[in-house]
Amino acid sequence: MPRDSRYDPLFEPIQLGPVTAPNRFYQVPHCSGMGYQRPQMMAAMRGVKAEGGWGVVCTEYCSIHASSDDSPYQSASLRDADDISNLRLMTDAVHAEGALAGVELWYGGFTTPNLYSREVSMDVASLANESTQGVPVQSQAMTLDDIQAFRQMHRDAAKRALDAGFDIVYVYGNHGYLLHNFLNPYFNQRDDEYGGVAENRVRLLREVIEDVSEIVSGRAAVAVRYSIPPQFDIDPQGLIECFGYLAELPDLWDITVNDYHLEMGSSRFIKEAANQEAIAGLRALTGKPIVSVGRFTSPDTMLSQIVSGTQDMIGAARPSIADPFLPRKIEQGRLEDIRECIGCNVCYAHNSLGVPIRCTQNPTMGEEWRRGWHPERTEARHADQSVLVVGSGPAGLEAACALGQRGYRVILAEAEQELGGRINRESRLPGLAEYARVRDWRLGQLQRMVNVDIYPDNRLDVDAIAELACEHVIIATGASWRSDGVGRWRNSAFAGCDSDQVIGVEQILRGKLPEGRVVIYDDDHYYLGSAIALLASASGCQVALVSPSDSLAEWSHNTEEHRPVMRALIEAGVEFVTAKGLVGFDLGKVQLECVYSGQSSQLAADQLIPISSRVADDALWIALDQHRSELLQHGLVSLQRIGDCRAPGIIAAAVYAGHKAARELGSRQSEVKRDRVLT
């Protein structure tokens, strides 16, 4: 199907200095958790995006010197000949699909602890390290000789970038790294020609842009990543004034806002194109092309940015992860096939953990090279056989979808009337509405598959499954939240867990609203505790949120949600209690124990909502497993359980489990290749 002509502006080529991008889709530099240690993985992942129609595909931040070492996080690297060979894998993969390849030269400054290299970071001043590890070291205040050495680092790296085949070379001027800190008067209190007034503070960034431009002249475009205030007319750092001294220097501006919690905000708090009003304010200040991100998922929103002139290219990180083929689907008129990012930031979380990124919506992300998975293609069915999938949560929906794509005859049975499992319940909580896209995209795909039959409101037992006589049976019946407090902190039920005033998570998720004074005990540490706390507060309850951890919603640090979560809880008037474990509940009192001292304390509560761990709903699988020999005699070939039914986890893990089961049906397990650094 040809594309709707309305979207033609998205497919117009654009000149970027000496190179031409084939369209307006631009995968901005984003972390991958692959970097220099996993060059094949990184190259394959970026190459798939180019195949999917992204006209420009960039690296993640790319270290140009050993004193810019962000270990244990995996950055790319461009320091020597081996790095050139590694990165050539990526540029070759991107060029093979007709796209441009960009590299983001990076020097972290006081944010990098250099745990691996053991080098000393340089910065505008001697600043206390601000890495997440909180290493008690400081950066070296740069002398004028250091500044000249820093400029030479960029010149040398730019030469290596050309040798590696890059078409766009970045100068990195934001996100609190060294060049940004020179712009910021809060950090830059120098009294030489690089400090003081804006013209001086911008001097080093201008010199580096000029240096890189001289090296790559005529062979590659120069892009500058730069941040501006979220409110264009409130500029305490003088970033807009500094921009005026640079406005026409590079070939492309990659503009963000200088609040990472807004730029990288999860969908719980930040919606699509939330920062574009600020970006629009910059348009009149430069004649050079602008690219910016906005977690764009809607083709119409993308089009509006181009037509209005707000930006010249559609920047994307997370949407390109959720659907590497997003541009191709718009071009082919397949809008209904776009896998929209849900803004959960699971991709970012795993980079934060020092491992390759993954995606809730796209289970193939990170497996393009290691397992050979492609986001749009799967191996055809191995035989003319049928598959029964029991359960339509994220694992069951993904399994049925991928099996249908492979060409199997699929029966999807769901005990409830509504398909979606945990997605239905969790997406109704405050801020989590976009999580429903996990369900909706898969249902949309399944409804167009003539080889898939869907049966809601059908609770199957062993006899019913035997009667269906499918060769393969996949059980994806999910899991249920415990209400006895068994979890990380304790391995036995708390006293009083059977009280009528103990409200289980499952009751809340199915619509029961708490009342009065409510204590929520969160030993899960992710989004559920804060979401239920906000629900209870909005219902008029007096809420206390208790955790045995030192901080609330601790795992949300990884997804860059912790700060907005805390802000929302504070604004809702939620009381915080940390480092306290749940011991008991009796007569309107929640009994707590300090996790360090063992000291007892109490909280008054009319109701208690414990959130700890889940129990797999695996009774059907156990019953089938007990009758496996009989079922085999009646034609059963394989029986397996997947997702939360096997091991409760996050939604992304359930989707991955469903996809893996479908990929591997009828074949040996996917080979997991081990990446290596080229020499």
Residues annotated as catalytic are 177
CB burial of residue 119 (10 Å; 0-12, 13-18, 19+): middle
Neighbouring-strand partners of residue 404: none
Report the C-alpha gap between 679 and 674 in whole angstroms: 16
Residue pair 326/37 in contact (Cβ under 8 Å)? The answer is no
Backbone angles phi, psi at 123, to 5 degrees: -160, 180
Residue with tokens 């019913």: 464
Name which of 398, 396, 412 is nearest 455 in CA terms: 412
Tell me the H-state helices in 353-426: 394-406, 422-426
CB burial of residue 263 (10 Å; 0-12, 13-18, 19+): buried
Give me the amino acid identity at 654. A
Report the C-alpha gap between 146 and 123 in whole angstroms: 9
Report the C-alpha gap between 242 and 184 in whole angstroms: 10
Report the C-alpha gap between 411 and 472 in whole angstroms: 10
92: helix, strand or coil: helix
Can you give 220-243 as a three-state secondary structure string? CEEEEEEEECCCCCCCCCCHHHHH
Burial 17-50 (b: 16+ CB within 10 A, else e): bebebbbbbbbbbbbbbbbbbbbbbbbbbbbbbb
Give me the amino acid identity at 400. A
Could you give the C-alpha distances from 404 to 213, 432, 449, 512, in angstroms and in order? 51, 28, 7, 36
